[in-house]
Amino acid sequence: MVTVAVTALTGCVTVQRSPASGTAPVPSRHDAPRPDGKAKPQIVQAPAREALEHIGPSRKPAPSAGTPRRAAPPPPAAAPAIPPRRPHPAPHPEPRRPEPHVAVPPAVPDVPQNPDVCALGRKYGGWQTDSPEATICRRAYGP
């Protein structure tokens, strides 16, 4: 197993010769597929911090506890006097709106405490005196 790993590593490592003195180095192009299956080099995005450093000026680090702080700048010389403003006129009061008249509905009559359910069934349901509905109602609610 170790020999397989060593063989694989030595196959992946390449060393370029230094160019002869006096000649400019020419970058070589490798169009042959690489062992990992990729034919062209992949573009890698730089880390965010490095990208930000290339774009704008670097920020100054926050002062540490050992760094003495500067005293507040002295107050500016006497500021020019601002002319007094004219007072605004008092706002007009909102006109009073009349209160809407709300009619109170009449009170609902009290519901009977013991409604005769069986009488309702006989009157509006058309039950006969000896019908099964009337018999069940008498047994449940009384005569």
pLDDT digit string, tens, across residues 71-86: 667 666 666 677 777 7
Q: Is residue 129 within 8 Å of residue 136, measured between CB atoms? A: no
Instruction: Give the global pTM.
Output: 0.22
Q: Is residue 120 within 8 Å of residue 127, measured between CB atoms? A: no
User: In one letter, which amino acid is 62?
Assistant: A
CA distances from 100 to 94, 103, 106, 107, 133 (A): 17, 10, 19, 21, 53
Q: Is residue 137 within 8 Å of residue 117, measured between CB atoms? A: yes
Task: Compute φ and ψ for 134, nearest 5 degrees.
Answer: -65, -35
Task: Compute φ and ψ for 51, nearest 5 degrees.
Answer: -65, -40
Give the pLDDT confidence of 49-62 residue by residue, as tens digits: 777 777 766 566 66
Locus of tokens 């449940």: 140
Q: What is the mean pLDDT of the chain?
A: 70
Distance, CA of 141 to CA of 118 (rounded, Å): 8
Rounded mean pLDDT of 5-27? Answer: 56
